[in-house]
Amino acid sequence: MPRRRRSLATSAEATSPVRGIARRRGPPEVRPRTIPRMRDEAGWLEVGDRVYTRRYRFYDQQIGVVVGDGEALVIDTRSSPGQARELIADIGRLTPFPVRQVVDTHWHYDHLFGNHDFRPATIWGHERCRSRLLENGERQRAWVAETEPALAAALESLVIDPPDRTFDPATTVEVGGRRVELAYLGRGHTDADVIVVVPDAAILFAGDLLENDAVPYFGDAYPLEWPATVGWLLDLVSGPVVPGHGSIGDRAFVERQLADFDAVAAVARRLHTGELDRAAALAAMPYDPSSSIEPLDRALAQLRGELD
Ligand SMILES: [Zn+2]
């Protein structure tokens, strides 16, 4: 484990961005070695007691559902009203209980353009999730219509509907007698990523702070801060970790992603100081060269003070 992580851990009590969440430092034997596989006939994977995920082909996205007594909470609402209605129908095959609460993990359209179809549910998000969506929602709609023709028609009827219950940095919600914790751990994939922890099932939903089976998206990222944010997340892992896209992971998956994020920041710093030229920097990145340009340039922009 890199030295930086140890120093974060030793200063955790004083500086944790999420004092409201009990830090979990269980012994190694409580860490699962394999991810549970328990699929029911409705196509949902039960990753913990009444905590489900469904993996959609579009963007290889993971959607989460937490079921309590008499109600359910949904984590992210997909990319369009049509996709949201499909999700609602899929949830209806999973539980008879109504979805009374939604969590938007961040303001990217594929995580919340389905919000409006879940009303009158309460929609939770970081306060910048709301403000950014209000500021850039129409821009996102136009961009999606142009780049994803399959969604263009569906987005004509889209009502951009941001979270109405915001928080910073953390809050606790109750879902039919179950406690669910929401926390912003710092900038990373965006400036408003929140994680969702279900303590009684030891499940952590990471949003797009973690993506599996593909290079994470850096277009709105803060690559210099992403490693520390995932470092805090790692401290909260006590079971399966559900990324925003791709396969469900575990602690080792988070550690691998953290090593990659550390490498991105380190390479960018070496390029910024002139220790590496651009070709050498691209070759030293943890991703393939064509996927490394955006992360590197975004990190450079941060080093130049252009993103603050
Ligand atoms: Zn995203």
Amino acid at 211: E
CA of 245 to the centre of ligand 1 (A): 9
CA of 67 to the centre of ligand 1 (A): 24
Is the dihedral angle over the CA atoms 25, 27, 33, 39 positive or is it negative?
A: negative
Question: Which pLDDT tens digit goes with each residue over 28-70?
Answer: 334 444 555 555 657 899 999 999 999 999 999 999 999 999 9
Question: Which pLDDT tens digit goes with each residue over 159-198?
Answer: 999 999 999 999 999 999 999 999 999 999 999 999 999 9
Q: What was the pLDDT predicted at 308? A: 79
Q: By CB neighbour count within 10 A (0-12 exposed, 13-18 middle, 19+ buried), where does 273 fall? A: exposed
CA of 211 to the centre of ligand 1 (A): 9
One-character DSSP codes across 249-285: B-HHHHHHHHHHHHHHHHHHHHHHTTSS-HHHHHHHS
User: Does residue 199 sit in helix, strand or coil?
Assistant: helix
Calpha distance 56→87 (Å, rounded): 9
Query: What are the E-state strand segments in 68-199?
Result: 72-75, 99-103, 122-126, 165-167, 170-175, 178-184, 194-198
CA of 291 to the centre of ligand 1 (A): 16
CA of 253 to the centre of ligand 1 (A): 18
Question: Which pLDDT tens digit goes with each residue over 252-271?
Answer: 999 999 999 999 999 999 99
Query: What is the CB neighbour count within 10 angstroms for residue 305?
Result: 7
CA of 69 to the centre of ligand 1 (A): 31
* DSSP conformational letter for 119: T
CA of 29 to the centre of ligand 1 (A): 33
Between residues 96 and 20, the one the model is more confident about: 96
Q: What was the pLDDT predicted at 39? A: 56
Please choose, from the candidates 85, 227, 242, 251, the residue with its C-alpha nearest in 3D space to the C-alpha of residue 158.
85
For residue 187, give both structure tokens: 């900038």
